Structure 1
Amino acid sequence: MNNTISTADRIQLPFQFDVEKMLAEVRQMNLNNFIYYNVIPLRSPAHMVDPSLPVPPPAEDFADGSWTEWMDTADLKLSPYLNEVVNTFKEHTTVTLVRILRLAAGNVVKEHCDPTLGVEIPKSVIRLTVPILNESGVEFYLNGEPVPMKPGECWYMRLTDPHSVINNSSEDRINLTIDMIPNDWVKSRLLKES
């Protein structure tokens, strides 16, 4: 397959995950009080999970995910359903960074671009987003237009484009994000659904 592809800026993929199971496992994690924005790593560079492992040498390009080995964190190992969700993609490609992202009620992630999170970018990774808790009043904007993500759905968004989040609900917004290397399997899924 061609190294670069062109897709829509947002693609809902044909995966549906169990919201109640995901939310129950997230609530079992050590959820500290937080202000504004919070990240819970589920898969990280191996040396950050196990400090006895050597720190990799400085990378010329962090974007492609090959600069280090990746390892599941204790939180993911203790979360069988979230592990199943991540394994949906690990069976087909290299999954790099996996996180739970929480945005506190009444807060905003200002518009920004992530220069390496788009399938069109050579040597990039892509990010899939699975909303877990996404109450009415939470809006994700991509290129100035809302993305109508619902809990349990799985979305690819071209995050090299401008995007922002507004949480006007009374609850935290909680998403699972899964970064992966866009191999031929990933690219074919995106092309099929775009």
Structure 2
Amino acid sequence: MRLAEPFYQLPVLFDIERLQAEVAALPAEAWGSHPDKLSGNSAARLISAGGAETDSVHGQMLATPWLAAMPYARQVLAGFGVVWSRSRLMRLAPGARVPEHADINYHWHTRVRLHIPIHTRPQVRFHCDGQSVHMAAGEAWIFDNWRRHHVVNGSDADRIHLVADTTGTAAFWRFACDRPPPRAQWRVMPWNPDAAPRLLTESDQRFPIMPAAEVQWLIDDLRAELTTAVDTSDARLRMSRFDLLLESFVQDWRQLCALHGVGGRARSDFVRLAEAVRQAAAPLAAGLVMRTNNAGALLVLEKRVLQHLVVADEARA
């Protein structure tokens, strides 16, 4: 999700000793490798599709057995009053890093990632769009992951953050982005052994066919960010043609939705249109990038839109 600033620190603090104790109690089998197999990166799944050992961002999100064994972590998440998507403990080994990247996938168009550091040292630095912060243990942060960012663990100990994805309520966004009060007035969330809060988790958000209004929204956002990596007459011409292709695609998709609806009928017609746009875009997109993060326009089109237009029957079973 695009934010006005690279980083926001939320005015709330947590019982870090309790969180650390719950993390320490997890068995070794709770931890698995990073989905992208990044060296020195591992994770324990807390909320996942079906509560299973999966990193999918699609499906009914449920607490895993590991989160069930962490009652204070559940209180922390429930205390924000938002609906949570995929959420994990993310561990970064001593000297390891998360390479620079921007999160361009469809999942991130409407979601932000909350970070709550549990184990960290001052040598752990989070970099985003030229700015750098140390997120201290027991704090809460969000950042603009559409911008390019990376993390470096320059310490000799593991860094472990609780990271949780949400679209956020209006109250959450006011709490996160308004000018914070003095730190002495920040909310503190204590451990309550008698509390049993309700944890809100995402249902499966996908339609069999993406509605035309959402396609319009995604494409309009892409077109607004479109620019040339190098300003030449040829690049400007290709950008103009690429932009027209996207506009035409939205018009044709809207007509198919008007004819067939979004329940999955005539799926093959939608697939053919998506494939035609994919093929037509490829020769036009060279040297076209996103203004904010320099991500390739074709890659963004593919990952943020085309891969998610049509959901196969078996994916919804």
> TM-score when scaled to structure 1?
0.78
The one of 20, 23, 27 aligned to 2:24: 27
CA distance in 2, matches of 1:169, 1:7: 30
Cα offset, 1:182, TM superposition: 2.6
Distance 1:147 1:190 in 2: 17
Choose 1 or 2 for highest CA Rg: 2
**Poorly superposed stretches of 4+, deviation over 3 Å:** 32-35, 116-119
Alpha-carbon distance between aligned partners in 1 of 2:130 and 2:143, rounded to the nearest angstrom: 13
Query: How far apart are 1:189 and its partner, in Å?
Result: 2.2
Question: What aligned pairs does 1:79-94 form with structure 2 within 5 A after superposition?
Answer: 79-89=70-80, 92-94=81-83
Query: Which one-letter code corresponds to 2:164 in the other structure?
Result: I
Give the match for residue 50 of structure 2: 46
The CA distance in 1 between the partners of 2:172 and 2:107, in whole Å, is: 12
Instruction: Between the two structures, name the one with larger relative contact order (CA 8 Å, sep ≥ 6).
Output: 1
Give the residue type in structure 2 aligned to 1:104.
A
Gaps of 5+ in 1: 52-61
Q: Which residue of 2 aligns with 1:110?
A: 99
Q: Distance in 1 between matches of 2:135 and 2:146?
A: 18
What's the RMSD between the two structures over aligned residues?
Answer: 2.7
Shift in Å at residue 116 of structure 1?
A: 5.1
| Structure 2: gaps (5+ residues) | 34-38, 181-317
Shift of residue 117 of structure 1? 9.0
The 3 A distance-change label for structure 1 pair 101 and 116 is same
Relative to structure 1, is the Cα distance of residues 39 and 117 closer, same or farther in structure 2, using a 3 angstrom cutoff? Answer: farther
Partner residue of 2:176?
Answer: 190
Matched AA of 1:109: V
**C-alpha separation in 2, matches of 1:85 and 1:117:** 27
The structure in which a higher percent of residues are strand is 1
Cα distance in structure 1, aligned partners of 2:125 and 2:23: 21
Task: Indicate how the Cα distance of structure 1 residues 6 and 86 shifts in structure 2: closer, same or farther if over 3 A, else same.
Answer: closer
Larger helix percent: 2
Q: How many residues align?
A: 172
Tell me if the contact between 1:116 and 1:125 (Cα under 8 Å) persists in the aligned partners: no
Given the alignment, which residue of 47, 64, 72 partners 2:63? 72
State, as a whole percentage, how many aligned pairs show the same letter.
27
Letter in 1 for 2:113: R
Aligned counterpart in structure 2 of residue 169 of structure 1, from 144, 155, 166? 155
